[in-house]
Amino acid sequence: MKIEKILQGLIVAPLYLVVLLVPVFFVPINSAFLEWNKYYLLVFLTAVSLVAWLAHGLFTKKLTIYRSLLDWPLLLWLVAALVVSLFSKDT
């Protein structure tokens, strides 16, 4: 049960850290110090949360995915992004 609580904390804590750290996070050693650093922080913390969620699901042998009203708009956005990326020209 202790590992389940640790994984639960690893699911929630990075998401809170995204909200707290992304607005104030910057690294002044590169030219675009406000853009890519925040993006990498967002991707890293989201990936940590996703891996912890998958590990929690494997540990408890139960993955729960909740359906919501945002499922269809999100799916449409993903399809549109895929279509745009397939038909875009590399300049």
Lowest mean pLDDT among 27-41, 56-70, 72-86: 27-41
Query: Does pLDDT of 2 surpass 80?
Result: yes
Residues 46, 57: Cα–Cα separation, whole Å: 16
pLDDT at site 91 = 64
pLDDT in tens, 3-51: 889 999 999 999 999 999 888 877 677 666 667 788 888 999 999 999 9
Q: Give the mean pLDDT of the chain.
A: 87
b (16+ CB within 10 A) / e for 57-84: eeeeeeeeeeeeeeeeeeeeeeeeeeee
pLDDT of residue 34: 61
